[in-house]
Chains A and B, each alone.
Chain A
């Protein structure tokens, strides 16, 4: 008989093993799903996980998709460590894209100077954090649940984007398509590998991961986030102000999501604002953050795995005519199995003897 027994201390080994276990279980469950749907599971799994990265272009695409996930998940992980739940990164990404894109497509669409892209990134960061400041303010001032506010504001942001590209920001020469003017070349993400879409956003994301790692491991603010999340009363004992923690988590995660939004519209989206600029990166980054154990290195790895699920879904759609929903199903499997496997961090499985079980 199987029995769960509480460990004396959370197992550090299991903290690393359970994400791998979750990935393995997702592959198994995915294979079973393909088989039930009448597809050859081996061929489908190959097409999902290996097919997309057999070419240089494919590998570059993996990094392109991982970039926004890394940036957003890094920001979210700070709050999640402290028990601050920003669920609305998709909205902050959208607002960032609007500000940066608006700068390039509406205000300075003739600009040629090298200052344009940095200004766009800055504008994106500022408006992303401003959007995130709303739930932070309501939580700290009135005790309003930040999960609900940040989530609902994500839908508001998407509607703002839609309104603008359907209306005032629509390209006058665009045959009435709901899209903005193209950005000038100086407002596009520079490509780092010719023949691919890999842009400077990816190394930038890795740099941010390094900074976040340093902050978490070595600074007071990182310590403060951990203490606040693990034991709020101990944080109060240490003199850490809970409101400042909430503000910090929201402003940083909102700012990073805003930057990710600019990077998307100035990179893979193609240098213009369109009604849909993200396949839900802001929500998927929540899975990435947890799959990566809220640790910067883990987040980079997890972002690559989850990015593969986007590419794999597209690949199966093209080559084997499977619905693109496969991507969402895989992401759901990942989160589900991760949460289920996490019980092993605090508990061990014991085979109880027949005598004790009788």
Chain B
């Protein structure tokens, strides 16, 4: 189709945006045709989010212009974007847990419509696009996939001509991903354009008609992703060939390092998941993957293993010693390190320097002097070593954690734990939102530790990651853990079914 016949739905010409210290977008040109699913691909910090925020009116560009259906426009704020026909589904949902689906939808729309009328419209849109949704259920009762549907339905109710989706699949089961893709293809066939942000290369190859690849704020390629291999796309995105992590899967017959038996915990606060009779063993040199849809007890299991929540002594043991009743620091002293799911605010303090952040978990080992005095010189050197060894892009140990991109902060947090020569590693979402290059480095580090004899537990919602890393995989569903099975005897379909029993359905493993 020659571009002159129909004007592009969205055309960006020379968009440039500077932030203090960085050039987030450098003269970016982008063209999205009507009825096209267009991938915006790039590593963390490549400038994807900034660009779509400019399109949606959340950030003003310093230079360049936006042309909408052949007409130059100025998008001052999201309301102006919506008036043009641009809708956006964010990576992080903006929903009120205590309100129902339809109430949440109403909050995102201009006021004035009666709720029962709106509920009918929600149902009709949801049915038309295969997004089953009960408008009167409170949000806190819904799975993550269902919550995302609310956001999508809210966007579709505005009859958009361009739907922007920011990493929509990172929290979905494989079955939910398939359903989402059907919806997006249906929208495309109706002439809606989709701007699809992701770094999952296989997804982009199967879904998208065109791709624009960003690297360090610049467009480095425009291509048809269906004609490329995933490795080829990854290489263009990162700028070098990604070296796939290497791991010789030797027969793991080492001694049992970490044993969990009969670990149960009641949910004490609303929104928490209980843990029900969780049991597993991990041997030296072995990686156990724990899959599951978010909110099924991952955070609670990590807290119980890491020592933020205590249990009866015998429920958890490390090298035969009971550690259930030991707190975080006592467990660290015994060689159990722990990387929580949330990077900022849990694994690190955003406003403190990297040096100080090493003290969070490395206090005893690294820098505790006499009488409770801290030796920050030691901490600074340790932070420097982490930065060097894990290739963390930062100005140095004095940089505050918040200033690092997500991937770099994750490399730092993983490195902080892994350099403490752990015997057991427990980590949640090790590469969530991390670009391919950083993910490969983190995976390699985990393999190296396993090879050195550590027992490793990885809790992740990314099945590809678990199949890559894990020797055995178990699934967490409503606080119950299925019995771990060797990864080669499982496939995504089977794990997906185990994960999908969000409302109590179970599948025998």
Contact B329 A239 (CB under 8 A): yes
Q: Which of B343-351, B462-470, B497-505 contacts A (4 or more CB under 8 A)?
A: B343-351
- Point out the residues of chain B lying under 8 angstroms from A357, CB to CB: 76
Q: Which of A108-116, A161-169, A230-238 contacts B (4 or more CB under 8 A)?
A: A230-238
- Point out the residues of chain A lying under 8 angstroms from B373, CB to CB: 218-220
A9 within 8 A of B: yes
Contact A9 B400 (CB under 8 A): yes
- Chain B interface (Cβ < 8 Å from any Cβ of A): 19-21, 60, 74, 76, 306-308, 327-329, 332, 338, 340, 342, 344-352, 356, 359-361, 363, 368, 371-374, 400, 402-403
A155 → chain B, closest Cβ, in Å?
A: 33
Most chain B CB atoms below 10 A, which of A8, A10, A233, A234? A234
A9 to B332, CA, bound (A): 31
Say which residue of A8, A220, A227, A234 sits within 8 Å of B403 (CB atoms).
Answer: A8
A107 within 8 A of B: no
Known: A9-B403, A219-B374. A239 touches B348 (CB 8 A): no
A233 to B346, CA, bound (A): 5
- Point out the residues of chain B lying under 8 angstroms from A9, CB to CB: 351, 400, 402-403
Interface flags, A211-249, vs B, CB<8A=1, else 0: 000000011110100110011011011110100000000
- Point out the residues of chain A lying under 8 angstroms from B328, CB to CB: 236-239
Say which residue of A220, A234, A358 sits within 8 Å of B348 (CB atoms).
Answer: A234
Say which residue of B21, B74, B342 sits within 8 Å of A8 (CB atoms).
Answer: B21
A225 → chain B, closest Cβ, in Å?
A: 12
Give the size of the chain A interface in residues (CB under 8 angstroms). 25
A355 within 8 A of B: yes
Contact A352 B360 (CB under 8 A): no
- Point out the residues of chain A lying under 8 angstroms from B344, CB to CB: 231
Known: A223-B356, A226-B352, A234-B360. A239 touches B327 (CB 8 A): yes
- Can you list 23 residue pairs at the A/B interface with Cβ under 8 Å? A7-B20, A8-B21, A10-B351, A218-B374, A219-B372, A219-B373, A220-B374, A221-B372, A223-B356, A226-B352, A230-B351, A233-B342, A233-B346, A234-B347, A234-B348, A236-B308, A237-B340, A237-B347, A238-B360, A238-B361, A239-B332, A355-B74, A358-B76
Contact A220 B363 (CB under 8 A): yes
Contact B363 A227 (CB under 8 A): no
A9 to B76, CA, bound (A): 25
Contact A237 B74 (CB under 8 A): no
Say which residue of A8, A219, A233, A352 sits within 8 Å of B345 (CB atoms).
Answer: A233
Which residues 308-358 of A have a CB within 8 angstroms of B?
352, 355-358
Contact B19 A8 (CB under 8 A): yes
- Point out the residues of chain B lying under 8 angstroms from A220, CB to CB: 363, 368, 372-374
- Point out the residues of chain B lying under 8 angstroms from A239, CB to CB: 307, 327-329, 332
A357 to B364, CA, bound (A): 54
The 9 closest A-B pairs by CB, nearest first: A239-B328, A239-B329, A238-B360, A233-B346, A231-B349, A220-B372, A356-B60, A231-B345, A219-B372
Say which residue of A7, A10, A227, A356 sits within 8 Å of B360 (CB atoms).
Answer: A227
Name the CB-closest residue of B to A358: B74
A236 to B332, CA, bound (A): 13
- Point out the residues of chain B lying under 8 angstroms from A234, CB to CB: 345-349, 360
A12 to B359, CA, bound (A): 22
Contact A356 B347 (CB under 8 A): no
A221 to B373, CA, bound (A): 9
- Point out the residues of chain A lying under 8 angstroms from B329, CB to CB: 238-239
Contact B360 A237 (CB under 8 A): yes
A10 to B347, CA, bound (A): 20
Known: A8-B19, A9-B400, A352-B60. A231 touches B372 (CB 8 A): no
- Point out the residues of chain B lying under 8 angstroms from A219, CB to CB: 371-374
